[in-house]
Structures are given as C-alpha cells and as structure tokens.
Amino acid sequence: MTDKVLQEPAFLVLTALAGGPQHGYGLVEDVLRVSDGQVRLHTGTLYAILDRLREGGLIEVDREEIVESRLRRYYQLTNAGAERLATEADRMQRNASAAASRLQQLPPRMRLRPEGGMA
C-alpha cells in the first residue's frame, strides 16, 4: 500500500480528511466538493478505500457517536497519512508542472487553452 501510487478516490479521501475528522457520509460529500462534483463515491467503494487506508496505517478511527440511534464513526488522518498525502501531492504537482511546461513548448496552433485548464 505504502509503495503503490494512490488511486484518485483514495487521494481524495485523504485530502478530505486533511480538513479534519469526518464520518462516512461527510466524506462522500466532501470528496464531491473537493473534486468539483466529479467524484461521487458509492458506499461500498468508500468503505473499501477506508479499509485499505486503515490497513496501511494512513487513517484511524477518531471517535464514535450515536446519532439518531445509528453508529457514526469519525475517521482522521494519521501522521503517516499526512506524510503520504504530502508526498503524493508533491508528485502530482511535479507531474502537472511537467505537463504544463511541455504544453508551453507546443506550436501555438496546438495550444488549445493557453491559460491552462488545470483543476
């Protein structure tokens, strides 16, 4: 887990948790917000991601609450998780700037959006 590249949904979940502890549905909504409405996590996928992140020691359970007679678990980033997210963000930034600088070298007629459409 620690060596493999984070998949986008896992990256987004870590990003959401970087904003503070969140429970399951909070994460679904936050990931949707962070990804500009692009990534809508289904419940099964979300918990598969949470399992893998927890097994990899990147997240942990912060606290449990009972809301409307339902268990609600809050997850939070661990130190390892924060480190991992930073490394991953760095890597993506490097990739993105590499792509941007190459795009700058393209002949003018192929530069579709000169101002850059990076989200």
Q: How far is the CB of 80 from another protein (least distance, A)?
A: 22
User: CA-to-CA distance for 47 and 86, rounded, in angstroms?
Assistant: 23
- Looking at the Cβ atoms of 45 and 78, the one nearer to another protein is 45
Distance CA 62, CA 22 (A): 9
For binding to another protein (CB under 8 A), which residues are involved?
Answer: 23-25, 28, 42-48, 70-73
> For strand 59-67 and strand 70-77, is the pairing parallel, antiparallel, or unpaired?
antiparallel
Beta bridge partners of 67: 70
Nearest CB to another protein, comparing residues 42 and 91: 42
Minimum CB distance to another protein, residue 24 (Å): 4
Give ∠ CA 93-95-96 in degrees, rounded to 5.
65
Of the pair 65, 83, the CB lying nearest another protein is at 65
Q: How far is the CB of 22 from another protein (least distance, A)?
A: 11
